[in-house]
Amino acid sequence: MRTGIGYDIHRMKEGRELVLGGVNIDSVRGLDGHSDADVVIHAVCDSLLGAASLGDIGRHFPDTDDEYKDISSLRLLERTKEKIREVNYETNNIDVTIVCQEPKLNTYISAMEENIAQSLGIPVYDVNVKATTNEGLDSTGRTESIAAFAVATIIPAPEI
């Protein structure tokens, strides 16, 4: 079994949709970024790539490549799954913490878990997503940004 950690943060921006865990969140602002700026999925991708010693999301899906402009991060997660499978691993489980002062996310969490599980081809009970605030501290606490941390474990894939 191997373990990896991922982290991402994006600043909030007027005129963008807010997408977290592949779910459109009701909000007047979204996250600024080259893709859909989904910090949850970006952190998950980084945790998986790290566990497989494959670098980070920027190496595989650079923000300088127009192929990834406005792409759904769930597509990036599916491609990440393929990359870890190429080195003979598969996802065992995912744990994510979202740091977000607002909006409140509790009604969206189960849909995020389902999206992650479906993209990775694992049972939803192997995915855990939770949210917290930063109690008004730093850029996330001032609602200027949203961040996410993810931990993944991967296991050797069965021979096909």
Give whole-number Cα distances, 149 to 49, 99, 132, in Å: 14, 8, 11
What is the chain's alpha carbon radius of gyration, rounded to the nearest angstrom? 15
Structural domains for the chain? 2-155 (3.30.1330.50)
Provide the whole-model pTM. 0.95
| 54 contacts 60 by C-beta, under 8 angstroms | yes
6 bridge partner residues? 150
Each residue's pLDDT expressed in tens, for the chain with a length of 160 residues: 999 999 999 999 999 999 999 999 999 999 999 889 999 999 999 999 999 999 999 999 988 888 788 789 999 999 999 999 999 999 999 999 999 999 999 999 999 999 999 999 999 999 999 999 999 999 999 999 999 999 999 999 987 5
User: Which of 84, 75, 85, 94 has the alpha carbon at shortest distance from 149?
Assistant: 94
